[in-house]
């Protein structure tokens, strides 16, 4: 048996030869984009930020006076796009070249996330997943799920009545309840639901592992063959544990639906509808069991933490800005009839609520570097050489905080999207251009996601006052703006005070909840 040192030495030698061979290919005469100089072999490995990387990328872009930045980590080339113009030119106009995904050995090969079509490479198999998702969640089709979003939102309001201090847990429950119902038709338990517990654990491991540069195995894939007992190979143990969580997240709810179909108790939602199409002999070859299962599993990954992040950041901003809250409540009170709660039909009459939701997505964008793309062939842009295989990182955070586009970009200001009392997404650009991804890899669930965020914000503001918490002397406690830096950026729990706006509204919530089955 080889010793640990021999194993490491052998793999290191192979890795070195792999890097040299990959780097000895045909060279372009064009220069690479500007960026910080690196060291031999390892490149910028030691320079790479471990948190808030979007801010460091932007600093480098300013330092080198560029909006297209080059970095190298061992043999991996990173290209950072820092402006909407660069992202549009490459990820939109040349989308056929830039729609790939990086290999990500840690996430896909070791942790078992190959089912998630958000991480799949561009190709026919990916297109099949995308197609069956789109058929259920394009703008017109997504409306069929509005009643289920509404019911989950009403239940959320009641939870805030019962425990107003547990914001993050309540919002997580809202997101999980919405996604699991729409994907599988599963009604989750109010406390410690097993599906939610497993899925949250699985998704949180992904959030860290999917950040480029987190694990060296993504840069030197040969390292995936190092046994877990070798010193420094602790990532193998993590990946093995995390793989179990990922599979349970995908398999357990799907197995529940299949059992319900067999005993005749299944309800009509995404999985059951898709399986029925398959059984009916649809000519669309995308309707295969493995694709249906994987697509449903992707929904939870994409739709829970992002929803929680958007709503909680919005509530943080409104806690800090009571004048915006009062203006929003004034609009709501002028539109919503007594004895009712906000609903999707009210959206055209509530432009300021829509502006608040848009500003929340811009102010604290939930996926600051989107999911990196991969360039499949050599390309050139503005006189620079962009090598095939480059990981292309769109810095959505920089685009949504570009002061040339959004004056005072770090100020929460929904009025930037209002003009003469109406929603205006032309004077200042709609944040959708960057907050849901780019090109052919844009989030296919963005319409349903925005609907869920919008209704949650409208409902909470109509029902509750949210204010700064007081200390024992009656002074305001300024809520902290602290965030967890992962693929999805989430605000840490902050101090606030929440109470119903009136006794009548409190009774309304309870009455609506009692009658919530009528929403179906």
Contact 308, 490 (CB under 8 A): yes
Task: Label the pairing between strands 100-101 and 76-81.
Answer: unpaired
Contact by Cβ (8 Å): 230, 8: yes
d(CA 401, CA 412) in angstroms, rounded, equals 11
* Contact status, residue 165 vs residue 318, Cβ threshold 8 Å: no
| 74 backbone φψ class: left, alpha, beta (φ>0; ψ -120 to 50) | left
CA distances (Å), 458 to each of 72, 81, 462, in order? 45, 34, 6
Strands 373-374, 391-394: pairing is: antiparallel
In degrees and rounded to multiples of 5, residue 132 shows phi and psi of -70, -30
Token pair 């844009």 is found at 442
- Angle subtended at Cα 424 by Cα 423 and Cα 429, rounded to the nearest 5 degrees: 130
Q: Select from 117, 311, 304 the least CA-distant residue to 197.
A: 304
443 is in an annotated binding site: yes
Contacts of 379 (CB under 8 A, 6+ apart): 90, 94, 97, 386, 388
What is Dmax (Cα atoms) for the chain? 77
Question: How many C-beta atoms surround the C-beta of residue 28 within 10 A?
Answer: 13
In angstroms, rounded to a whole number, what is the distance separating the alpha carbons of residues 464 and 469? Answer: 14
**Residue 394 contacts residue 438 (beta carbons within 8 Å):** yes
**Which structure tokens are listed for 104?**
């990500």
Helices marked H in 143-221 — which ranges? 146-162, 167-184, 194-209
**Cα three-residue angle 359-424-58, rounded to 5 degrees:** 45
User: What is the 8-class DSSP label of residue 379?
Assistant: E
Q: Which residues are annotated as a binding site for heme?
A: 443
Q: Which residues are annotated as a binding site?
A: 443
């Amino acid at each position: 048996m080889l010793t640990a040192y021999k194993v490491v030495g052998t793999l290191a030698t192979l890795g070195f030869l792999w890097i040299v061979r990959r780097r000895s290919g045909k060279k372009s005469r064009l220069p690479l984009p500007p960026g910080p100089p690196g060291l031999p072999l390892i490149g910028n490995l030691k320079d790479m930020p471990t948190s808030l990387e979007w801010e460091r990328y932007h600093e480098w872009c300013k330092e080198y006076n560029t909006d297209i930045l080059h970095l190298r980590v061992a043999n991996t080339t990173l290209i950072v796009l820092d402006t909407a113009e660069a992202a549009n030119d490459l990820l939109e106009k040349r989308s056929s070249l830039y729609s790939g995904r990086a290999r990500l050995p840690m996430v896909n090969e070791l942790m078992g996330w190959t089912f998630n079509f958000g991480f799949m490479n561009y190709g026919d198999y990916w297109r099949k997943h995308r197609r069956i998702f789109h058929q259920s969640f394009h703008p017109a089709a997504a409306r069929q799920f509005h009643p289920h979003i509404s019911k989950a939102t009403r239940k959320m309001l009641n939870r805030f009545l019962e425990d107003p201090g547990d914001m993050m847990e309540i919002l997580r429950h809202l997101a999980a309840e919405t996604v699991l119902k729409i994907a599988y038709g599963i009604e989750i338990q109010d406390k410690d639901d097993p599906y939610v517990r497993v899925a949250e654990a699985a998704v949180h491991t992904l959030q860290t592992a999917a950040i480029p540069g987190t694990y060296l195995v993504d840069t030197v894939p040969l390292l995936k063959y190092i046994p877990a007992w070798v010193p420094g190979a602790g990532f193998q143990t993590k990946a093995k544990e995390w793989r179990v969580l990922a599979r349970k997240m995908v398999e357990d709810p799907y197995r529940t639906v299949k059992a319900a179909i067999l005993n005749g108790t299944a309800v009509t939602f995404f999985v059951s509808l898709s399986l029925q199409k398959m059984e009916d002999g649809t000519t669309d070859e995308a309707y295969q069991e493995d694709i249906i299962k994987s697509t449903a599993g992707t929904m939870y990954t994409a739709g829970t933490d992002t929803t929680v992040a958007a709503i909680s950041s919005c509530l943080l901003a409104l806690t800090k800005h009571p004048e915006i809250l009062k203006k929003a409540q004034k609009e709501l009170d002028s539109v919503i009839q007594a004895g009712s709660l906000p609903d999707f039909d009210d959206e055209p009459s509530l432009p300021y609520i829509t502006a608040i939701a848009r500003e929340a997505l811009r102010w604290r964008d939930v996926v600051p570097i989107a999911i990196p793309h991969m360039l499949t062939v050599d390309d050139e842009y503005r006189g620079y050489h962009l090598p095939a295989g480059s990981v292309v990182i769109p810095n959505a955070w920089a685009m949504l905080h570009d002061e040339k586009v959004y004056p005072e970009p770090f100020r929460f200001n929904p009025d930037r999207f209002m003009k003469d009392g109406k929603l205006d997404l032309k004077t200042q650009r709609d944040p959708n251009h960057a907050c849901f991804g780019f090109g052919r890899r844009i989030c296919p669930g963005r319409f349903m996601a925005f609907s869920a965020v919008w209704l949650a914000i409208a409902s909470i503001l109509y029902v509750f006052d949210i204010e700064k918490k007081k200390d024992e002397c009656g002074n305001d406690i300024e809520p902290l703006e602290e965030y967890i830096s992962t693929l999805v950026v989430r605000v840490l729990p902050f101090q606030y005070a929440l109470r119903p706006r009136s006794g009548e509204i409190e009774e309304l919530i309870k009455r609506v909840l009692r009658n919530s089955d009528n929403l179906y």
